[in-house]
Amino acid sequence: MVQKIFLSLLLFISVTKAEGEKSSSDSLRTYHLSDVVVSATKTPMPTNQVGSAVTVIERAQIELSQKGTALELLSEVPGVFMLQQGGAGKLATVLTRGANAGQTLVLLDGVEMNNPGDVGNVFDFSNLQASDIERIEILRGPQSTLYGSDALAGVISIFTRKYSQSLSVNAQLEGGAYNSIRSGASVSGSSNALNYFFAVNDFKTKGFSSASELYGNTEVDGYKTSSFTSKLNYTFPEDISLSLLLRYNKANTDFDYSGGINGDDPNYSYSLQESLIKTALDFSLFDKKWNQSISFNYLRNFRKYTDGVDAHRPTTSSDARYDGTKKKIEWLNTLRFIDSQRITLGAEAEEETAVSDYYSNSEWGPWNSFFPKSSSTTFGFFAQDQISPVKNFNSTLGVRYDKHKKFGSAVTYRIAPVYFVEETGTKIRASYGTGFKTPSLFNLFDPLYGNAGLKPEKSKGWDIGVEQFLLNRNLSFEVSYFSNLFTDLFSLDNATFKMINLSKAETKGVEIGLKYNPEGFAAYQFTYTLTNTHDKSENSPDKDLPLLRRPKDRASFSSIFFLNQQLTLGIDILYTGVRDDKDFSTYQRIQLESYTLVNMSASYKIKNMFEVFAKLHNIFDKKYEEILGYGTERQSVYTGINFSF
């Protein structure tokens, strides 16, 4: 029945699309390619002058897609693979170009979000809703020259909603499968020199079993989260501006003991409280030829895990708390005294602090592990030169020096030339760079396995790509080849049970992207990523084998049809190829099957103030696994309404 409905809709689209071609494109909603990138150089730059491999997700695309989380938005980005350990609220991480989860730096309005209280400094995407997101920029390749630690494989920079010039109010209500309810409201506007944005969001669901139902697990694992965001900006005379960002997020999640057989656990839960603050002062000198920004960021991530005894495990219980904070001050300078040259200079000081306590009880007796409050500081300095010696040729060169309290210094560099053939709309780009990752506080100072002598992880990578723009930039095609080598990776010494710099890995592949927006009636996007990964660690049982959980082939196709001025229909097709995982109860490799997911959405605007929508996820009810033993969403329907004026 579902297949018949799907085919009927495709036939309906083919007919109504032809009718849409007869309509004036000016009267329909449009969907344009991005013209400016910020994160590649820390200054707004036309895409024609950016040598990095970058993907931009704009607000218009977010609204039209009806996607509810950042996780969903990133699922169609070339070179990026998302993993989630169960359903909503469960740990969700990103693997960029085959790298490890902690080797991609995540920024929210410029605040580094990688968790200082986590063993691997990993950022969890599961609590980031899409409703407040204005824009996402995904940089691929080593980016430590501008961003320092954790940017070995790339940077994902997320920007929250912009200020509106007049009063704007938005609200959303959505409900559906697994007893899910999503709600949110925001207000934005300006009053003289003051700009403001406030938003609240809430999501809760009864969920499905975190341990996959394919192995007989039936106990559902719920999730609820709430967030508050406040942005203020005041502009003084002489274009001096002061901004303040406050964000608070809390979440409660039910977990399972493990994936696979007998993974159910009815009373294993997790709670999160996360706060961030950013304040920045921006001003210019010498007729805006020297722009400066002085900012202070603060992030705190507090997590609590509780697992009581139950009928399945009458002698097993645990309680754990992890508290991590990060403080950072940055002075950024952009100088443009020569038209063909833009110089960026920056200085940073960062402090990370963490403390944790873990207690468990089992048939082997009680166990307590206490990680005393520990901290580290890093000072960084970087310089970048964006130069255009001849028309249509631009090159970005940068170098960075970091001084860490424990491991000493690290030097990284990057070069990214680009040439744009204006007559044909062809962009030829390349980049080469190095990156590093500071050992986490746990890896350095944990009483059991910490090693204060650890050195940073390192990477070096290059890529070369061609982008072609046609039809007044309504059509774009890009293809890139990339290669990365990761060395001095952290691993556990089986003899001393201490962390050491031992492992090595390499990743290579091809990324393809196509976007087409035929004036007014549709928008199409296709992506494909071929990723070859290899464990290059000497004396490893996995030497020369593919890295775990990285699919060799990954593809997506999405289309949005503007059937008339009010009605929009969207279709997403996601393909994930076979990949290796490991059963850690036996330490045997297992190959996970490939799978294809098909999602659909529809929306209807009512007098430009109301929009009703519906979403159908996994319409063919595909049974699949992202991670061995963990559950995934089955066929699900959601409906809702958006209000704005």
Calculate mean pLDDT across residues 357-370: 91
Residue 630 is classified by DSSP as: B
- What pLDDT sits at residue 8? 39
pLDDT 10s digits, 545-590: 999 999 999 999 999 999 888 999 999 999 999 999 999 888 899 9
Query: To which residue do tokens 């001849």 refer?
Result: 390
- What pLDDT sits at residue 13? 38
> Could you tell me which residue, 312 or 384, shows the higher pLDDT?
384
CATH code for the domain in which residue 395 is found: 2.40.170.20
- What pLDDT sits at residue 584? 85
Query: To which residue do tokens 């691929």 refer?
Result: 140
Rounded CA-CA distance 110/140 in Å is 17
Q: Confidence band (pLDDT; 50, 70, 90) for 106?
A: very high
pLDDT of residue 7 exceeding 60, the answer is no
pLDDT 10s digits, 257-268: 899 999 999 999
pLDDT of residue 1 exceeding 50, the answer is no
CA angle 591, 597, 602 (to 5 degrees): 165
Amino acid at 282: D
pLDDT of residue 419 exceeding 90, the answer is yes
pLDDT of residue 78 exceeding 50, the answer is yes
Domain that holds residue 192: 2-644
Other beta carbons within 10 angstroms of residue 391's beta carbon come to 9
Which tokens in the block code for residue 443?
């890896």
Nearest to 144 by CA among 181, 103, 114, 110: 103
Max distance between CA atoms of the chain, in angstroms, equals 75
pLDDT 10s digits, 137-176: 999 999 999 999 999 999 999 999 989 889 999 999 999 9
- What pLDDT sits at residue 472? 83
pLDDT of residue 26 exceeding 60, the answer is no
pLDDT of residue 495 exceeding 50, the answer is yes
- What pLDDT sits at residue 16? 38
Rounded CA-CA distance 217/224 in Å is 21
Q: Confidence band (pLDDT; 50, 70, 90) for 12?
A: very low
> Could you tell me which residue, 313 or 300, shows the higher pLDDT?
300
pLDDT of residue 492 exceeding 50, the answer is yes
299 Cβ contact list (under 8 Å, min separation 6): 111, 112, 113, 116, 274, 275, 276, 325, 326, 327
Indicate the helix (H) or strand (E) that contains 64: helix 59-65
Ramachandran category for residue 607: left, alpha or beta (phi over 0 → left; psi -120 to 50 → alpha): left
pLDDT of residue 21 exceeding 70, the answer is no
Rounded CA-CA distance 568/446 in Å is 54
**Taking the C-alpha atoms of 9, 15, 17 and 20 in order, what is their torsion angle to the nearest 10 degrees?**
-130
The count of domains in the chain is: 1
Calculate mean pLDDT across residues 475-503: 94
pLDDT of residue 11 exceeding 50, the answer is no
Which tokens in the block code for residue 498?
């201490």
Q: Which of 186-200, 388-402, 436-450, 509-523 is predicted least confidently?
A: 509-523
- What pLDDT sits at residue 19? 39
- What pLDDT sits at residue 34? 58
Rounded CA-CA distance 506/309 in Å is 43
What are the DSSP E strand ranges found in 471-552? 475-492, 499-516, 522-535
Mean pLDDT, the chain, whole residue set? 92
Read off φ and ψ for residue 7, nearest 5 degrees.
-65, -35
- What pLDDT sits at residue 539? 82
Residue 24 is classified by DSSP as: -
- What pLDDT sits at residue 130? 93
- What pLDDT sits at residue 586? 87
Residue 565 is classified by DSSP as: S
* Residue 25, CA atoms < 13 Å, CB-side half-sphere: 12
